[in-house]
Structure 1
Amino acid sequence: MLCIMCVLAHPMEFTFALSLSVFIKRERAHHVLRKRANYFLEEMLPGDLERECYEETCSREEAREIFKSQEKTAEFWYHYKGDPCKMSPCENGGICQQYHYSYTCLCPPRFMGRHCENGEFVFNSLSPLPWFQVLIRSHRGYEICSGSLISNRWVLSAAHCFEAVNPHHVTVGDYDKFRRDQDEQKIAVLKFFSHPHYFAEHYDHDIALLYLRSPVIFNEYARPICLPTPSLGRLLTQEGEIGQVSGWGATRYMGPSSRFLLRVRLPIVKQEDCIASTAKMFTGNMFCAGYRTEVKDSCQGDSGGPFAVAYRQTWYLVGVVSWGEKCASEGKFGVYTRVANYIPWIKETIIDNDGLEDSLIATL
Structure 2
Amino acid sequence: MGRVAPAGAVFLPRDQAHRVLQRARRANSFLEEMKQGNLERECREEACSYEEAREVFEDKEQTDEFWSIYKDGDQCEGCPCLNQGRCKDGLGDYTCTCAEGFEGKNCEFSTRELCSLDNGGCDQFCREERGEVRCSCARGYVLGDDRKSCVSTEPFPCGKFTQGRSRRSIIHIGEDASELEQHDPGDLGPTESSFHLLGLNRTESNSGEDGSQLVRIVGGRDCAEGECPWQALLVNEENEGFCGGTILSEFYILTAAHCLHQAKRFTVRVGDRNMEQEEGNEMAHEVEMTVKHSRFVKETYDFDIAVLRLKTPIQFRRNVAPACLPEKDWAEATLLTQKTGVVSGFGRTHEKGRLSSTLKMLEVPYVDRNTCKLSSSFSITPNMFCAGYDAQPEDACQGDSGGPHVTRFKDTYYVTGIVSWGEGCARKGKFGVYTKVSNFLKWIDKIMKTRAGAVGSRSPTEAPATRTVPTPLPPHAGL
The answer as to whether partners of 2:242 and 2:262 remain within 8 angstroms in 1 is no
1:330 Cα offset (Å): 0.9
Find out whether 1:156 has 2:254 as its counterpart: yes
Residue 326 of structure 1: aligned partner = 424
Q: 1:279 to 1:326 in 2, by over 3 A?
A: same
Q: Alpha carbons of 1:239 and 1:230: their partners in 2 closer, same or farther (altered >3 Å)? A: closer
- In 2, Cα distance between equivalents of 1:261 and 1:352: 32
Residue identity over aligned pairs, in percent, reads: 35
Unaligned segments of structure 1, at least 5 residues:
1-105, 111-122, 124-128
Partner residue of 2:357 out of 259, 265, 277: 259
1:175 paired to 2:273? yes
Q: Distance in 2 between matches of 1:161 and 1:143?
A: 11
SS in structure 2 at match of 1:274: helix
Q: For the pair shown, which has the larger CA radius of gyration, 1 or 2?
A: 2
Instruction: Determine if contact 2:222/2:360 at 8 Å carries over to the other structure.
Output: no
Alpha carbons of structure 1 residues 108 and 339: separation in structure 2 relative to 1, 3 Å? closer
Aligned counterpart, 1:336: 434
Following the alignment from structure 2 to structure 1, what is the Cα–Cα distance between the partners of residues 387 and 446?
29
Please give the alpha-carbon distance, in whole angstroms, between the structure 2 residues aligned to 1:164 and 1:313.
35
Q: Name the stretch that deviates more: 197-206 or 349-358.
A: 349-358
Task: Report what 2:86 is aligned to.
Answer: none
The alpha-carbon distance between structure 1 residues 221 and 209, as it changes in their structure 2 partners (threshold 3 A), is same
Root-mean-square deviation (CA), in Å?
2.4
From 332, 337, 343, give the equivalent of 1:234. Answer: 332
- The reply on whether 1:225 has 2:323 as its aligned counterpart is yes
Alignment of 1:296-315 (within 5 A): 296-315=394-413
Q: Tell me if structure 1 keeps the 8 A contact 2:289–2:452.
A: no
Deviation at 1:339, TM superposition (A): 0.5
Quick one: structure 1 residues 274 and 359, their matched pair in 2 at CA, closer, same or farther if it must change by over 3 Å?
Answer: closer
> How big is the shift at 1:191?
1.5
Contact 1:188 1:212 (8 Å CA) reproduced: yes
2:220 pairs with 1:141: no
Which range is displaced more, 217-226 or 199-208? 217-226
SS of the residue 2:367 aligns to:
coil
Q: Select which of 377, 384, 388 maps to 1:286.
A: 384
Task: Describe the SS at the equivalent of 2:439.
Answer: helix
Distance 1:343 1:107 in 2: 30
Q: Is the 8 A contact 2:364 2:389 kept in 1?
A: yes
Report if the CA contact (8 A) 1:246-1:307 is conserved: yes
Which secondary structure does the structure 2 equivalent of 1:340 belong to? helix
Q: 1:189 aligns with which of 287, 308, 311?
A: 287
Deviation, 1:238, is: 3.7
1:349 is matched by which residue type in structure 2?
A: I
Mean CA deviation greater in 148-157 or 179-188: 179-188
Tell me, in whole angstroms, the C-alpha distance in 2 between the residues paired with 1:222 and 1:267. 26
Task: For 1:254, give the aligned amino acid.
Answer: K
Specify which structure has the higher proportion of helix: 1
Q: 1:213 — aligned with what?
A: 311
Question: Would you say how many aligned residue pairs link Structure 1 and Structure 2?
Answer: 241
Aligned partner of residue 332 in structure 1, secondary structure: coil
Aligned counterpart for 1:346 among listed residues 444, 461, 467: 444
Q: Is the 8 A contact 2:344 2:404 kept in 1?
A: yes
Output the CA distance in 2 between the equivalents of 1:345 and 1:359: 18
Name 2:128's counterpart in structure 1.
none
Q: Tell me how far apart the structure 1 counterparts of residues 434 and 223 of structure 2 sit (CA, whole Å).
A: 29
Relative to the length of structure 2, the TM-score reads: 0.48
**Alpha-carbon deviation of 1:166?**
4.4
* Shift in alpha-carbon separation, 1:167–1:351, aligned structure 2, 3 A: farther
- 1:295 aligns with 393
AA aligned opposite 1:210: L
Aligned mates of 1:131, 1:205 — CA distance in 2: 26
Would the alpha carbon gap of residues 202 and 356 (structure 1) be closer, same or farther in structure 2, given more than 3 Å must change?
same
Asked if 1:269 corresponds to 2:367, the answer is yes
Shift of 1:351: 2.0
Aligned mates of 1:359, 1:327 — CA distance in 2: 36
Whether contact under 8 Å (1:236, 1:318) holds in the other structure is: no
C-alpha distance in structure 2 between counterparts of 1:166 and 1:351, whole Å: 27
Question: For 1:347, what is the secondary structure of its paired residue?
Answer: helix
State the one-letter code of the partner of 1:268.
Y
Q: 1:207 to 1:189 in 2, by over 3 A?
A: same
- Structure 2 unmatched runs, 5+: 1-220, 463-479
Q: Please give the TM-score of this superposition, normalised by the length of structure 1.
A: 0.62
Take 2:297 and 2:451, find their aligned partners in 1: how far apart are those partners? 23
Return the letter of the residue paired with 1:172.
V
The structure, 1 or 2, with the larger RCO (C-alpha pairs under 8 Å, 6+ apart) is 2
